[in-house]
Amino acid sequence: MVPQHARLSSVLILAALAVLALPTLRAQQDVPAAPTPDAPAPAAAPAFPAPDPANFTAATPTKETINAFMQTSWGFDDSRVWQVQAILKTQVEGISKVVVLVGDKTGKQKNSAIQFFVLQDGKHIIAGDEIIPFGEHPYADQRAELQKRADGPYRGSASKDLEIVEFADFQCPHCKEAQANMDKLAVDYPQARFVFENFPLARIHAQAVTAAQYAVCVTKLGGSSAFFTFAAAVFDGQDGLSTADGATLTLNSSVTKAGLDPAKVAACVALPATAKTVDDSTKLAQDLDINQTPTLMVNGRQVPANAPYETLKQIIDFQIKLDGLKK
Protein backbone atom coordinates (compact mmCIF):
# COMPACT_ATOMS: atom_id res chain seq x y z
CA MET A 1 0.00 0.00 0.00
CA VAL A 2 1.24 3.43 -0.93
CA PRO A 3 -0.71 5.97 1.16
CA GLN A 4 -1.67 9.16 -0.60
CA HIS A 5 -3.84 12.19 0.02
CA ALA A 6 -7.40 12.13 -1.21
CA ARG A 7 -7.41 14.22 -4.37
CA LEU A 8 -10.99 13.79 -5.57
CA SER A 9 -12.55 16.30 -7.91
CA SER A 10 -16.23 17.04 -7.58
CA VAL A 11 -16.81 15.19 -10.86
CA LEU A 12 -15.30 11.99 -9.47
CA ILE A 13 -16.76 12.15 -5.98
CA LEU A 14 -19.89 10.12 -6.59
CA ALA A 15 -18.06 7.40 -8.47
CA ALA A 16 -15.44 7.14 -5.75
CA LEU A 17 -18.04 7.19 -3.00
CA ALA A 18 -19.56 4.05 -4.32
CA VAL A 19 -16.66 2.66 -2.61
CA LEU A 20 -16.76 2.48 -1.00
CA ALA A 21 -17.91 -0.29 -2.74
CA LEU A 22 -16.48 0.10 -6.19
CA PRO A 23 -13.58 2.56 -6.11
CA THR A 24 -11.63 1.53 -9.17
CA LEU A 25 -14.05 -0.21 -11.51
CA ARG A 26 -13.11 0.32 -15.13
CA ALA A 27 -15.98 1.80 -17.12
CA GLN A 28 -16.24 0.96 -20.80
CA GLN A 29 -18.37 3.24 -22.95
CA ASP A 30 -20.72 1.11 -25.05
CA VAL A 31 -23.74 3.28 -25.85
CA PRO A 32 -24.64 5.63 -28.70
CA ALA A 33 -23.08 9.08 -28.84
CA ALA A 34 -24.43 11.75 -26.55
CA PRO A 35 -27.13 14.09 -27.88
CA THR A 36 -26.12 17.28 -29.61
CA PRO A 37 -25.75 20.33 -27.33
CA ASP A 38 -29.16 21.63 -28.45
CA ALA A 39 -30.99 18.40 -27.62
CA PRO A 40 -32.75 18.25 -24.22
CA ALA A 41 -31.59 15.63 -21.73
CA PRO A 42 -33.95 12.65 -21.59
CA ALA A 43 -36.18 12.61 -18.54
CA ALA A 44 -36.63 8.83 -18.44
CA ALA A 45 -34.15 6.26 -17.22
CA PRO A 46 -31.80 4.95 -19.91
CA ALA A 47 -32.80 1.80 -21.79
CA PHE A 48 -30.40 -1.08 -21.28
CA PRO A 49 -30.18 -3.95 -23.77
CA ALA A 50 -31.90 -7.13 -22.62
CA PRO A 51 -29.49 -9.50 -20.84
CA ASP A 52 -28.55 -12.65 -22.77
CA PRO A 53 -29.43 -15.77 -20.71
CA ALA A 54 -26.29 -17.39 -22.11
CA ASN A 55 -24.24 -14.94 -20.03
CA PHE A 56 -25.54 -16.35 -16.73
CA THR A 57 -23.42 -19.46 -16.33
CA ALA A 58 -22.43 -19.16 -12.66
CA ALA A 59 -24.76 -20.21 -9.85
CA THR A 60 -23.39 -17.61 -7.47
CA PRO A 61 -23.74 -14.82 -6.72
CA THR A 62 -27.41 -14.41 -7.55
CA LYS A 63 -28.90 -11.36 -9.24
CA GLU A 64 -30.65 -10.60 -5.98
CA THR A 65 -27.36 -10.49 -4.05
CA ILE A 66 -25.72 -8.28 -6.67
CA ASN A 67 -28.67 -5.89 -6.74
CA ALA A 68 -28.69 -5.71 -2.94
CA PHE A 69 -24.96 -4.93 -3.01
CA MET A 70 -25.44 -2.23 -5.62
CA GLN A 71 -28.36 -0.74 -3.69
CA THR A 72 -26.34 -0.67 -0.46
CA SER A 73 -23.42 0.92 -2.28
CA TRP A 74 -25.18 3.37 -4.58
CA GLY A 75 -28.69 3.73 -3.20
CA PHE A 76 -27.90 7.15 -1.74
CA ASP A 77 -27.82 8.50 -5.32
CA ASP A 78 -31.39 8.54 -6.66
CA SER A 79 -30.23 9.34 -10.18
CA ARG A 80 -28.16 6.16 -10.59
CA VAL A 81 -29.65 3.06 -12.23
CA TRP A 82 -28.10 -0.27 -13.15
CA GLN A 83 -28.78 -3.68 -14.60
CA VAL A 84 -26.98 -6.98 -14.00
CA GLN A 85 -25.86 -8.04 -17.47
CA ALA A 86 -23.80 -11.18 -16.84
CA ILE A 87 -22.77 -13.62 -14.10
CA LEU A 88 -20.14 -15.84 -15.67
CA LYS A 89 -18.10 -18.82 -14.59
CA THR A 90 -14.35 -18.37 -14.86
CA GLN A 91 -11.48 -20.83 -15.26
CA VAL A 92 -11.02 -20.71 -11.47
CA GLU A 93 -13.53 -22.80 -9.57
CA GLY A 94 -15.74 -20.65 -7.35
CA ILE A 95 -14.75 -17.29 -8.86
CA SER A 96 -17.44 -15.57 -10.93
CA LYS A 97 -17.22 -12.60 -13.26
CA VAL A 98 -20.02 -10.05 -12.96
CA VAL A 99 -20.89 -7.36 -15.50
CA VAL A 100 -23.25 -4.53 -14.57
CA LEU A 101 -24.53 -1.76 -16.83
CA VAL A 102 -24.76 1.59 -15.07
CA GLY A 103 -26.73 4.62 -16.19
CA ASP A 104 -27.94 8.03 -15.07
CA LYS A 105 -31.64 8.95 -15.00
CA THR A 106 -30.90 12.52 -15.98
CA GLY A 107 -29.20 11.53 -19.21
CA LYS A 108 -26.24 13.78 -18.42
CA GLN A 109 -23.81 10.87 -18.37
CA LYS A 110 -23.32 8.06 -20.84
CA ASN A 111 -24.12 4.53 -19.83
CA SER A 112 -21.12 2.41 -18.92
CA ALA A 113 -20.27 -1.20 -18.14
CA ILE A 114 -18.42 -2.20 -15.00
CA GLN A 115 -17.06 -5.61 -14.17
CA PHE A 116 -15.72 -7.33 -11.09
CA PHE A 117 -14.84 -10.81 -9.88
CA VAL A 118 -16.60 -12.38 -6.90
CA LEU A 119 -14.28 -14.54 -4.81
CA GLN A 120 -15.00 -18.00 -3.43
CA ASP A 121 -16.01 -16.74 0.02
CA GLY A 122 -18.84 -14.72 -1.52
CA LYS A 123 -17.87 -11.80 0.74
CA HIS A 124 -15.25 -10.04 -1.39
CA ILE A 125 -14.75 -8.90 -4.96
CA ILE A 126 -11.76 -7.91 -7.03
CA ALA A 127 -12.40 -4.61 -8.81
CA GLY A 128 -9.44 -3.25 -10.72
CA ASP A 129 -6.53 -3.83 -8.35
CA GLU A 130 -8.63 -3.65 -5.17
CA ILE A 131 -10.22 -6.32 -2.97
CA ILE A 132 -13.53 -4.93 -1.73
CA PRO A 133 -16.22 -6.22 0.66
CA PHE A 134 -19.25 -7.69 -1.12
CA GLY A 135 -22.69 -9.02 -0.31
CA GLU A 136 -26.04 -7.78 0.89
CA HIS A 137 -24.36 -6.23 3.95
CA PRO A 138 -20.85 -5.43 2.73
CA TYR A 139 -19.94 -3.07 5.58
CA ALA A 140 -20.94 -5.27 8.51
CA ASP A 141 -17.51 -6.78 9.18
CA GLN A 142 -15.74 -3.41 9.02
CA ARG A 143 -18.35 -1.89 11.32
CA ALA A 144 -17.79 -4.63 13.90
CA GLU A 145 -14.01 -4.22 13.64
CA LEU A 146 -14.25 -0.49 14.21
CA GLN A 147 -16.58 -0.89 17.17
CA LYS A 148 -13.99 -3.20 18.68
CA ARG A 149 -10.74 -1.42 17.83
CA ALA A 150 -11.40 2.29 17.14
CA ASP A 151 -10.61 3.57 20.62
CA GLY A 152 -9.27 7.04 19.83
CA PRO A 153 -10.65 10.29 21.30
CA TYR A 154 -14.27 10.96 20.46
CA ARG A 155 -16.96 13.61 20.65
CA GLY A 156 -20.71 13.28 20.53
CA SER A 157 -22.61 10.23 21.69
CA ALA A 158 -21.15 7.46 23.82
CA SER A 159 -23.27 5.01 21.80
CA LYS A 160 -21.69 3.27 18.81
CA ASP A 161 -24.97 2.82 16.95
CA LEU A 162 -23.92 5.57 14.54
CA GLU A 163 -20.13 5.65 14.60
CA ILE A 164 -18.18 7.92 12.26
CA VAL A 165 -14.45 7.28 12.46
CA GLU A 166 -12.02 9.76 10.92
CA PHE A 167 -8.57 8.54 9.86
CA ALA A 168 -6.30 11.55 9.45
CA ASP A 169 -2.72 12.81 9.35
CA PHE A 170 -1.95 16.13 11.09
CA GLN A 171 0.47 17.12 8.33
CA CYS A 172 -1.97 16.33 5.51
CA PRO A 173 -3.40 19.54 3.96
CA HIS A 174 -6.54 17.75 2.81
CA CYS A 175 -7.14 16.63 6.41
CA LYS A 176 -6.94 20.25 7.50
CA GLU A 177 -9.51 21.20 4.86
CA ALA A 178 -11.82 18.40 5.98
CA GLN A 179 -12.10 19.71 9.54
CA ALA A 180 -14.81 22.17 8.48
CA ASN A 181 -16.89 19.20 7.35
CA MET A 182 -16.20 17.35 10.59
CA ASP A 183 -17.28 20.30 12.73
CA LYS A 184 -20.52 20.68 10.76
CA LEU A 185 -21.26 16.95 10.98
CA ALA A 186 -20.78 17.02 14.74
CA VAL A 187 -23.50 19.69 14.95
CA ASP A 188 -25.89 18.09 12.46
CA TYR A 189 -25.58 14.56 13.90
CA PRO A 190 -25.52 14.89 17.70
CA GLN A 191 -26.59 11.24 17.96
CA ALA A 192 -23.33 10.13 16.30
CA ARG A 193 -20.05 9.15 17.91
CA PHE A 194 -17.16 10.86 16.08
CA VAL A 195 -13.86 9.07 16.68
CA PHE A 196 -10.43 10.32 15.60
CA GLU A 197 -7.83 7.72 14.60
CA ASN A 198 -4.25 8.65 13.78
CA PHE A 199 -3.02 7.56 10.37
CA PRO A 200 0.31 9.37 9.89
CA LEU A 201 1.75 8.99 6.40
CA ALA A 202 5.36 8.82 7.53
CA ARG A 203 6.81 8.30 4.06
CA ILE A 204 5.72 11.72 2.89
CA HIS A 205 5.23 13.66 6.15
CA ALA A 206 8.32 13.69 8.33
CA GLN A 207 6.58 15.18 11.39
CA ALA A 208 3.28 13.31 11.16
CA VAL A 209 4.24 10.49 13.53
CA THR A 210 5.49 12.93 16.18
CA ALA A 211 2.27 14.93 15.90
CA ALA A 212 0.25 11.73 16.29
CA GLN A 213 2.24 10.77 19.39
CA TYR A 214 1.58 14.20 20.90
CA ALA A 215 -2.12 13.69 20.16
CA VAL A 216 -2.09 10.36 21.97
CA CYS A 217 -0.50 11.90 25.06
CA VAL A 218 -2.81 14.92 25.07
CA THR A 219 -5.74 12.50 25.07
CA LYS A 220 -4.17 10.38 27.80
CA LEU A 221 -3.48 13.36 30.06
CA GLY A 222 -6.44 15.60 29.23
CA GLY A 223 -9.14 13.43 27.69
CA SER A 224 -11.08 13.82 24.47
CA SER A 225 -12.00 17.46 25.08
CA ALA A 226 -8.33 18.43 25.36
CA PHE A 227 -7.56 16.40 22.24
CA PHE A 228 -10.02 18.25 20.01
CA THR A 229 -8.74 21.62 21.23
CA PHE A 230 -5.19 20.43 20.53
CA ALA A 231 -6.10 19.02 17.11
CA ALA A 232 -7.78 22.24 16.00
CA ALA A 233 -4.69 24.23 17.01
CA VAL A 234 -2.32 21.85 15.19
CA PHE A 235 -4.34 21.97 11.99
CA ASP A 236 -4.53 25.77 12.23
CA GLY A 237 -0.74 25.93 12.58
CA GLN A 238 -0.04 23.10 10.15
CA ASP A 239 2.59 25.06 8.20
CA GLY A 240 4.75 24.94 11.31
CA LEU A 241 5.08 21.16 10.95
CA SER A 242 7.27 21.52 7.87
CA THR A 243 10.48 21.35 9.95
CA ALA A 244 11.47 19.54 13.14
CA ASP A 245 12.03 22.79 15.06
CA GLY A 246 8.81 24.27 13.77
CA ALA A 247 6.95 21.11 14.75
CA THR A 248 8.21 21.33 18.32
CA LEU A 249 7.01 24.92 18.62
CA THR A 250 3.67 24.21 16.97
CA LEU A 251 2.94 21.09 19.00
CA ASN A 252 3.96 22.63 22.32
CA SER A 253 1.86 25.71 21.60
CA SER A 254 -1.10 23.47 20.80
CA VAL A 255 -0.57 21.52 24.02
CA THR A 256 -0.68 24.78 25.98
CA LYS A 257 -3.91 25.81 24.24
CA ALA A 258 -5.36 22.48 25.33
CA GLY A 259 -4.55 23.40 28.94
CA LEU A 260 -1.74 20.91 29.45
CA ASP A 261 1.94 21.07 30.41
CA PRO A 262 4.25 20.58 27.37
CA ALA A 263 6.93 19.00 29.57
CA LYS A 264 4.55 16.32 30.81
CA VAL A 265 3.29 15.64 27.31
CA ALA A 266 6.86 15.37 26.00
CA ALA A 267 7.67 12.84 28.74
CA CYS A 268 4.64 10.79 27.69
CA VAL A 269 5.68 10.96 24.02
CA ALA A 270 9.00 9.31 24.93
CA LEU A 271 7.25 6.21 26.31
CA PRO A 272 7.21 3.05 24.12
CA ALA A 273 3.49 2.64 24.83
CA THR A 274 2.79 5.91 23.02
CA ALA A 275 4.45 4.74 19.81
CA LYS A 276 2.51 1.48 20.07
CA THR A 277 -0.79 3.33 20.29
CA VAL A 278 -0.02 5.18 17.05
CA ASP A 279 1.13 1.93 15.43
CA ASP A 280 -2.11 0.21 16.48
CA SER A 281 -4.19 2.98 14.92
CA THR A 282 -2.15 2.78 11.71
CA LYS A 283 -2.57 -1.00 11.67
CA LEU A 284 -6.33 -0.60 12.00
CA ALA A 285 -6.36 1.66 8.93
CA GLN A 286 -4.30 -0.83 6.97
CA ASP A 287 -6.49 -3.77 8.03
CA LEU A 288 -9.52 -1.84 6.75
CA ASP A 289 -7.71 -1.20 3.45
CA ILE A 290 -7.72 2.56 3.96
CA ASN A 291 -5.04 4.02 1.70
CA GLN A 292 -5.65 7.74 1.75
CA THR A 293 -6.30 10.56 4.18
CA PRO A 294 -8.68 11.92 5.21
CA THR A 295 -11.06 8.95 5.20
CA LEU A 296 -14.26 8.50 7.16
CA MET A 297 -15.82 5.19 8.07
CA VAL A 298 -19.56 5.64 8.51
CA ASN A 299 -20.73 2.48 10.26
CA GLY A 300 -18.08 0.64 8.25
CA ARG A 301 -18.61 2.44 4.91
CA GLN A 302 -15.56 4.30 3.52
CA VAL A 303 -16.20 7.91 2.55
CA PRO A 304 -13.68 10.67 1.65
CA ALA A 305 -13.92 13.18 4.50
CA ASN A 306 -13.47 16.17 2.19
CA ALA A 307 -16.31 15.24 -0.14
CA PRO A 308 -18.92 17.99 -0.70
CA TYR A 309 -20.78 18.46 2.56
CA GLU A 310 -24.24 17.77 1.15
CA THR A 311 -22.93 14.53 -0.36
CA LEU A 312 -21.59 13.46 3.03
CA LYS A 313 -24.98 14.14 4.60
CA GLN A 314 -26.71 12.24 1.82
CA ILE A 315 -24.56 9.18 2.44
CA ILE A 316 -24.83 9.34 6.24
CA ASP A 317 -28.62 9.69 6.06
CA PHE A 318 -28.75 6.70 3.72
CA GLN A 319 -26.55 4.64 6.04
CA ILE A 320 -28.77 5.57 8.99
CA LYS A 321 -31.74 4.22 7.03
CA LEU A 322 -29.89 1.04 6.05
CA ASP A 323 -28.97 0.34 9.67
CA GLY A 324 -32.49 0.97 10.93
CA LEU A 325 -31.51 3.91 13.12
CA LYS A 326 -33.45 7.02 14.04
CA LYS A 327 -32.37 10.12 12.16
Query: Are both 248 and 290 inside the same structural domain?
Result: yes
Q: Which residues of 190-218 are buried (b: 16+ CB within 10 A; e: fewer)?
A: eebbbbbbbbbbbeebebbbbbbbbbbbb
Whether the link from the prior residue into 61 is cis, omega within 30° of 0, is yes
Other beta carbons within 10 angstroms of residue 324's beta carbon come to 7
Q: Quick check: 22 pLDDT over 80?
A: no
Query: Are both 291 and 151 inside the same structural domain?
Result: yes
Q: What is the pLDDT of residue 293?
A: 96
Q: What average pLDDT does this structure show over 289-314?
A: 95
Pairwise CA distance, residues 261 & 165, whole Å: 28
Q: Quick check: 107 pLDDT over 80?
A: no
Q: Quick check: 21 pLDDT over 50?
A: no
Q: What average pLDDT does this structure show over 307-327?
A: 95
Q: Quick check: 49 pLDDT over 90?
A: yes
The pair phi, psi for residue 276, each rounded to 5°, is -65, -40
Q: What is the pLDDT of residue 43?
A: 55
Query: Are both 217 and 304 inside the same structural domain?
Result: yes
Q: Quick check: 39 pLDDT over 70?
A: no
Q: What is the pLDDT of residue 327?
A: 81
Q: Is residue 14 a part of any domain in this protein?
A: no
Summarize pLDDT for 63-90 with one digit per residue, the tens.
999 999 999 999 999 899 999 999 999 9
Q: Quick check: 11 pLDDT over 60?
A: no
Q: What is the pLDDT of residue 46?
A: 80
Query: Are both 82 and 213 inside the same structural domain?
Result: no
Summarize pLDDT for 250-268 with one digit per residue, the tens.
999 999 999 999 999 999 9
Residue 44 binned pLDDT confidence (cut-offs 50, 70, 90): low
Pairwise CA distance, residues 88 & 100, whole Å: 12
Tell me what the pLDDT averaged over the chain comes to: 88
Q: What is the pLDDT of residue 178?
A: 97
Pairwise CA distance, residues 223 & 209, whole Å: 20
Q: What is the pLDDT of residue 326?
A: 86
Q: What average pLDDT does this structure show over 40-51?
A: 72
Q: Quick check: 313 pLDDT over 70?
A: yes
Q: What is the pLDDT of residue 124?
A: 96
Q: What average pLDDT does this structure show over 12-22?
A: 36
Q: What is the pLDDT of residue 284?
A: 98
- To the nearest 5 percent, what fractions of the chain are helix, strand and coil? 40, 20, 40
Summarize pLDDT for 180-192 with one digit per residue, the tens.
999 999 999 999 9
Query: Are both 114 and 153 inside the same structural domain?
Result: no
Last residue of a domain, one of 92, 120, 137: 137
Q: Quick check: 42 pLDDT over 60?
A: no
Q: What average pLDDT does this structure show over 89-103?
A: 96
Closest-CA residue to 246 (of 216, 206, 217): 206
What is the domain count for the chain? 2
- The percentage of the chain sitting over the pLDDT mark of 70, rounded to a whole number, equals 86
Last residue of a domain, one of 76, 105, 137: 137
Last residue of a domain, one of 70, 105, 137: 137
Query: Are both 162 and 123 inside the same structural domain?
Result: no
State pTM to two decimals. Answer: 0.84
Query: Are both 169 and 305 inside the same structural domain?
Result: yes
Query: Are both 150 and 132 inside the same structural domain?
Result: no
Q: Quick check: 4 pLDDT over 70?
A: no
Query: Are both 108 and 179 inside the same structural domain?
Result: no
Q: What is the domain range of residue 121? A: 22-137
Summarize pLDDT for 166-209 with one digit per residue, the tens.
999 999 999 999 999 999 999 999 999 999 999 999 999 999 99
